[in-house]
Amino acid sequence: MVKSTVREKSDSLRLPGNSFPLLWFIIAAFVLFGQTIFFSYTYLDDHTLILNSMDKLKSASFLNKAFTEDVFHSPSGHGYYYRPILTLSFVADALIGNGSFVMFHFSNIVYHVLATFLLFLLFVELGYDRMRSFLFSLIFLVHPMVTQAVAWVPGRNDTLLAIFILGSFLFWLKYVKTSRIRFVWLHLLFYILALFTKENAVVLPILILLYSAVVMRTSSKKYLIAGTGWIVITAIWAVVRYQAIGGAKGVAFPTQILTIVKSLPAVLPFLGKAIFPFDLSVFPIFADMKISTIFGIVAIGIFAILISMTKPRRWFYYFFWFLWFLAFLVPSFVSINKQIPNFSEHRIYLSLAGILLMIMECNPVKKASFSRLGPILIVAGICLFFSALTFMHTRHFKDQFAFWQNAVNTSPSNAFNHNNLGAMYFLKGDLKKAEPLFRKALQINPHEPLANSNTGLICMRTGRPAEAEKYYLEEIRIYPAYDDVYFNLGLLYYNHARYDEGIRQWEKTLKINPSYADAYKALLFAYEKLNRKQDYKRISDKAKENGVIH
């Protein structure tokens, strides 16, 4: 029999003195992450989700699209990431901040504080004394592995998921302990919000059933409302999600499972970074996580030693919190395209709570008296050390150059990183720095999406049309659905008096993307110049039909 650690005290979440730790969390978070408020875009998703969509986000009419489209608002059947709550949070920031990116970064810090505070409340509810709960919540707040979830704006999705999962789990514990019906409704509300934040939330009822059955010996009667709610809510979410993203056509479920299985070794570096957060990267792949993988093996050894020093050993708690760690981390390993899977650190955000709870169950920590100065100073030292690492790592999210330079430096085996750093220099107009990076990407992976097209752009800009054509055609062979490459190839042909060939490429651009405004403009210009009136009218009508010309 497993003895429950859930305390039998107040049934209210307003525990005495909660404002004190919350105040410290606020101060610590803004001191540590305050610099991020003035950071720019990294050009990893944030430019698509926010910068290029700011006018839409500032419109209240955009709210319904949060639930009816994937987060990138892809055409039906081509989306994969269903994140309505994330989109709503962006809408709120755009409206409140009037489009200022400062508001987005500010909100990220606020969400991190809320998640940390809920973790503190959960620690207390699980029976740990307030000082121990406060100190380990502080470790969570300053841990270098949470940096990306705070400093990179789209990383807030994992912070939001943590808020709703921790809140839902906390309210469930309150409900089982007190039988007060309001807690089960709050539990279900937070579960709804968690599901519409990230699909990982679907594992929560399973975790609750396991914990309640083994630890709390919950009466079957208490599952009536919750169980019905889980089934109904999950079914509605699944249907709405399917309707919004078209069931992620083209990526079979068995294929997704296979990609997760193949990526399971990545659990080791995540575990390693959770204990030894030194080998940090903004965009890592497994091939460049060798040091963290070794740290992961060492971490397993440390846990084995700590558990062997613990008597009596409550094996279920180690099992459950490690399962928590895996349940919210491993599903994010799914790869929905042909890119090499990346293992960005924001994915461990909620899972990190499981690691901390495993540590808190070990005797060297569990038996330590935090009413004494010694243990407090040790944890304070860890927090200060972690804070220094976090502060330095935060700088890698300052702007697109800092971000992608760190990606190249820390994960040099990833062609994607070289291609994107090159793209940043290209956008800046520094072609001399951009071209070697594009070519390095192709050297690592000759089939890297967009790298051939980007190299073609360099060649076109520097007066090498034959070479540019070669790279454009190779991009089309590798990535035939890429609209920009057809448009650029059309420009190349047209500017060298190959008018019909250029027009054909622009027509292909519109077949792939009927809303490509520049392709309409180019075709209208060409047809007018060539006096092809019927074609001019056809393209003009199509542009009006697709809302490009009003």
- pLDDT the model gives residue 460: 96
- How many Cβ atoms from other residues are within 10 Å of residue 245's Cβ? 22
SS3 535: helix
User: What integer pLDDT is reported at residue 362 of this predicted model?
Assistant: 92
Residue 251 is predicted with a pLDDT of 60
Distance between CA 181 and CA 225 in Å, rounded? 9
Q: Please tell me the distance from the alpha carbon of residue 132 to that of residue 124, in angstroms, as a whole number.
A: 9
The residue type at 305: I
DSSP 268-327: HHHHHHHHSTTS--SS-BGGG-HHHHHHHHHHHHHHHHHHHT-SS--HHHHHHHHHHHHH
Sort 311 into a burial class: Cβ within 10 Å, 0-12 / 13-18 / 19+: exposed
Evaluate the omega torsion of the peptide bond into residue 312 and state whether it is cis, within 30 degrees of 0.
yes
| CA pseudo-torsion sign 531, 534, 538, 541 | positive
Q: For residue 342, what are the β-bridge partners?
A: 285
Euclidean distance between CA atoms 359 and 42, whole angstroms: 34
Return the number of other C-beta atoms located less than 10 Å from residue 381's C-beta: 10
Q: What is the DSSP letter of 342?
A: B
What is the Cβ-side half-sphere exposure of residue 26, based on CA atoms within 13 angstroms? Answer: 6
Closest CA to 420 of 45, 159, 73: 45
| CA nearest to 433, candidates 444, 425, 441 | 425
| CA angle centred on 259, ends 257 and 260, rounded to 5° | 65
As annotated, the residues of the chain forming the CATH 1.25.40.10 domain(s) are 411-545
Cα–Cα distance for residue pair 354/215, rounded to 1 Å:
16
From first to last of the 550 residues of the chain, give the pLDDT tens digit: 344 444 434 333 343 466 789 999 999 999 999 999 999 999 999 999 999 999 999 987 788 888 988 888 775 556 678 999 999 999 999 999 999 999 999 999 999 999 999 999 999 999 999 999 999 999 999 999 999 999 999 999 999 999 999 999 999 999 999 999 999 999 999 999 999 999 999 999 999 999 999 998 878 888 899 999 999 999 999 999 988 887 545 466 677 788 888 899 999 999 999 999 999 999 999 999 999 999 999 999 999 999 999 888 889 999 999 999 999 999 998 877 667 788 999 999 999 999 999 999 998 898 888 888 888 999 999 999 999 999 999 999 999 999 999 999 999 999 999 999 999 999 999 999 999 999 999 999 999 999 999 999 999 999 999 999 999 999 999 999 999 999 999 999 999 999 999 999 999 999 999 989 999 999 999 999 999 999 999 999 999 988 887 6
**Cα–Cα distance for residue pair 286/428, rounded to 1 Å:** 30
User: What does the alpha-carbon distance between residue 543 and residue 317 come to, in Å, rounded to a whole number?
Assistant: 61
Per-residue CA distances from 38 to 102, 268, 503 (Å): 6, 34, 44
Q: Are 115 and 163 in contact (CB under 8 A)?
A: yes
pLDDT score, position 338: 62
**The residue type at 379:** V
Phi, psi angle pair for 342, to nearest 5°: -105, 155
Q: What does the DSSP assignment read for 509-521?
A: HHHH-TT-HHHHH
Question: How distant is the alpha carbon of residue 105 from its chain centre?
Answer: 15
- Cβ–Cβ < 8 Å for 205, 172: no
**What is d(CA 305, CA 363) in angstroms, rounded to the nearest whole number?**
11
372: phi > 0 → left, psi -120 to 50 → alpha, else beta; which? beta
Chain centroid to Cα 327, Å, comes to 16
* Full-model pTM: 0.91
Contacts of 130 (CB under 8 A, 6+ apart): 15, 17, 21, 124
Closest alpha carbon to 335 in 408, 258, 267, 266 = 258
Phi first, then psi: give them for residue 218, nearest 5 degrees. Answer: -70, 135
What residues does 285 pair with on adjacent strands? 342
Q: Which CATH number fits domain 411-545: 3.40.50.300, 1.25.40.10, 1.20.1250.20, 3.40.1210.10?
A: 1.25.40.10
pLDDT for 256 equals 74
Q: Which two tokens stand for residue 452?
A: 């051939």
